[in-house]
Amino acid sequence: MIEHCRLIEFSQMGDERGHLVIVEGNQDIPFDIKRVFYIYGSDKDVIRGRHANHKSEFVLINVAGTSKIRVDDGTNQKVYHLDRPHIGIYLPRLVWKDMYDFSKDSVLLVLASEHYDADEYIRDYDKYLEVMNK
Ligand code: TYD
């Protein structure tokens, strides 16, 4: 499961005017992007996420600042450092994720494969383990 999480490097077209990063749905991103949200202003000691999704796949990009993403499939865990605006992490469905250690300037952009549906979120870790052990 967590072996399906992976970093994605996006094309950069920087020149003397600055940087431009290109992120294309269904090409760089392995799904149709249906939803975009972003998280900023989270303190360093805050842990966000703490959920898994039955349906949604995500790509997370720290377009400014840095954060860490801990992924967990109920058996294995891995921590990714998001620290460059042209790097994203792909998370398949049913991965438990924590986002934490946000820098003050962190803007964490999230691209999602599904519209928001609270019912497809698993927010209880014991329930998540039950789902994964079925
Ligand atoms: P939450 O899932 O707790 O955020 P995070 O994954 O960063 O910890 O979402 C915070 C609130 O925002 C919660 O009440 C659900 C709501 N929300 C939406 O209405 N639509 C969305 O697309 C998202 C991501 C959250």
pTM above 0.95, yes or no: yes
In angstroms, what is the span from residue 52 Cα to ligand 1's centroid?
12
Q: Which residues pair with 99 in a beta bridge?
A: 48, 69
Residue 121 CB neighbour total at 10 angstroms: 14
* Known catalytic membership, residue 19: no
Which numbered atom of ligand 1 lies nearest the CA of 35? 22
Whole-number Å distance, alpha carbon 36 to ligand 1 midpoint, is 11
Question: What is the C-alpha to C-alpha distance for residues 101 and 86, in angstroms, rounded to an integer?
Answer: 19
CA of 79 relative to ligand 1 center, distance in Å: 22
Please give the Cα distance from 37 to 57 (Å, whole number).
13
Catalytic residue among 4, 19, 51, 81: 51
Q: Is the pLDDT of residue 15 over 90?
A: yes
Measuring CA to CA, which residue among 99, 95, 123 is closest to residue 110? 99
| Contact call for residues 54 and 81 (beta carbons, < 8 A) | no
Q: Quick check: CB of 37 below 6 Å from ligand 1?
A: yes
Domains of the chain (ranges, CATH numbers): 2-132 (2.60.120.10)
Q: pLDDT tens across 85-108, in order?
A: 999 999 999 999 999 999 999 999
34 lines ligand 1 (CB under 6 A): no
Closest C-alpha to 128, from 86, 89, 97: 97
Token duo for residue 49: 């996420």
Is the pLDDT reported for residue 134 higher than 90?
no
